[in-house]
Amino acid sequence: MKKNLLTLIIAAVLVVIFTLLLFTFQVRQSEVVVVSTFLNPTDTKTNANLYVKWPWPIQSITRFDQRVQNFEDKFSENYTADSTILLTSVYVGWRISDGRQFMNVFKDGSVAVAQQQLEGILRSAKLAIIGKHNLADFVNSNPADLKFGDIEKEIQTAVATELAKHNYGISIEFLGIKKLGLPESVTQSVFERMKSDRNKLISKAQFEGEGEAAKIKSTAERQAADVLANAQAAATRIKGEGEAEAAKTLNVFQQNPDLAIFLAQLETLKNSANQKTTLIFDERQPPFNLFRSLPANPTGK
């Protein structure tokens, strides 16, 4: 009796498990699931959860990896706007954005077929965008003149536009130029062009430096001339004031010559008689003859 009960329990559990497998399916975090009804895609599930479905052949599910997939195209030749051969390689990151549409466009939802289609679109976009830019936008002695970022954005926009136009159910997550190269036949001419561009920059910098130096020199000379002119004007003014004052004194001295002689003798004595100075002189010779007119005892003692 107990053996039959255990058998029934196991059978019931197996029936439940089989029923769950037939009528439910799970969507993981990293995948998108397309539900097909009678082999026609009818629904898409992107959120991780447990869902209910009808058993096959009524409904079936197809799983796709929703994570970003990437590839690098071939290192191929492209012509720039100035007719220079440039070797380029571009890397791309893409993912399935609409699983239902992806499955409708690509047979059996083949990722390999989708990537081949994307490579063709990328090749055409790269050829068109690179053909719009000169070689100097890719290879330049001045880093500020490089346009890698703009060119990458242009290629990504062109690819995304083409994918949206045909509704492939694919989105581009990132795109960038991985490698650049030049054929050996044009390498030397490119280096010569870069050298010429660098020499032009050097000449320009030298010319601007000489112009700035001449401007500074001219300014300094003008300022020096202004200072010298001001100094000469001040000297002329002071000299004129001195001569005017001397003319006034000379007029007084001409009217009283004895006063002029007396003052000159006093100035001479002043300059000769410093502190702690011993003088030996002939009182008959000027200006020392002034001492002869001094009183014998000026203090009265």
What is the rounded distance in angstroms from the CA atom of residue 259 to the CA atom of residue 282? 22
Q: Domain residue spans in the chain?
A: 2-65, 69-182, 196-255, 256-293
Q: Which structure tokens are listed for 175?
A: 């795109």
Beta bridge partners of 34: 44, 62
What is the rounded distance in angstroms from the CA atom of residue 270 to the CA atom of residue 49? 119
- The whole-number pLDDT of residue 301 equals 46
Beta bridge partners of 31: 65
Q: Which amino acid is at 159?
A: V
How many beta carbons lie within 10 A of that of residue 91, not counting itself?
15
What is the rounded distance in angstroms from the CA atom of residue 280 to the CA atom of residue 271? 15
Decide: pTM greater than 0.85: no
Q: How far is CA 54 from each of CA 24, 26, 47, 61, rounded to the nearest angstrom? A: 8, 14, 19, 10
pLDDT < 70 positions in the chain: 1-3, 20-21, 184-195, 198, 246-301
What is the rounded distance in angstroms from the CA atom of residue 60 to the CA atom of residue 228? 102
What is the rounded distance in angstroms from the CA atom of residue 241 to the CA atom of residue 245? 6
CB 167 within 8 A of CB 61: no
* DSSP structural state of residue 145: G
Q: Which amino acid is at 177?
A: I
**Nearest residue to 121 via CA among 85, 84, 83, 170:** 170
CB 163 within 8 A of CB 172: yes
Tell me which of 3.40.1160.10, 3.50.50.60, 3.30.479.30, 3.40.50.880 is the CATH number of domain 69-182: 3.30.479.30
- The whole-number pLDDT of residue 171 equals 92
pLDDT, tens digit (0-9, with 9 covering 90-100), for 80-130: 998 888 889 999 999 988 888 888 888 777 888 999 999 999 999 999 999
* DSSP structural state of residue 137: G
What is the rounded distance in angstroms from the CA atom of residue 31 to the CA atom of residue 35? 13
